[in-house]
């Protein structure tokens, strides 16, 4: 219950260091890496002693197996650190990530930077969509940005 309360406080915290992502272009643009990953054996949520304006920050660390790279070059397994976003869950996800200070550690690039994959569907901006279509759309947006 305590962890849920902290998550709810962070979800409405106007001082969050992660501004809301309004568009697909924003989410893709702020991500150094985009990949389909699989998370397994997620440890429990930890409530840190660190705080943001008096609100304790929930933290999770997990290892993700990279199944498909879409943007950036990632090794086969990557450590993901999750602070004050969504709760990490087991299973396949479309992950939008960035480096932590040139280390080999990664964080979600936005609060909605981890999209659960259910079968061949992923939750996208317009609702559930075929994963293949979403990946194709991301690649098209990346190609447009390069040109």
pLDDT tens series, the chain, 147 aa? 444 444 433 443 333 444 556 789 999 999 999 999 999 888 777 666 655 566 666 677 889 999 999 999 998 899 888 765 567 889 999 999 988 877 778 888 887 888 999 999 999 988 999 999 999 999 999 998 887
Q: Could you list the residue range(s) of the whole structural domain that residue 8 is in? A: 2-146
* Of residues 54, 111, 64, 51, the one with CA closest to residue 92: 64
Alpha-carbon distance of 97 to 36, in angstroms, equals 11
Task: Tell me how many domains the chain contains.
Answer: 1
Alpha-carbon distance of 143 to 72, in angstroms, equals 13
The CATH number for 90's domain is: 2.40.50.120
pTM of the model: 0.78
């Amino acid at each position: 219950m305590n962890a849920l309360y902290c998550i709810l406080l962070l979800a409405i915290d106007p001082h969050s260091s992660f501004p809301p992502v309004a568009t697909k272009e924003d989410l893709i643009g702020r991500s150094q890496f985009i990949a389909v990953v699989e998370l397994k054996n997620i440890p429990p949520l930890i409530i840190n002693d660190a705080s943001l304006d008096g609100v304790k920050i929930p933290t999770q660390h997990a290892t993700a197996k990279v199944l498909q790279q879409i943007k950036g070059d990632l090794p086969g397994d990557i450590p993901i650190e999750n602070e004050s976003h969504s709760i990490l869950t087991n299973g396949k996800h479309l992950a939008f990530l960035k480096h932590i200070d040139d280390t080999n550690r990664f964080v979600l690039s936005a609060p909605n930077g981890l999209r659960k994959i259910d079968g061949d569907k992923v939750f996208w901006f317009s609702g559930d969509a075929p994963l293949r279509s979403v990946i194709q759309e991301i690649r098209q947006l990346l190609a447009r940005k390069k040109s």
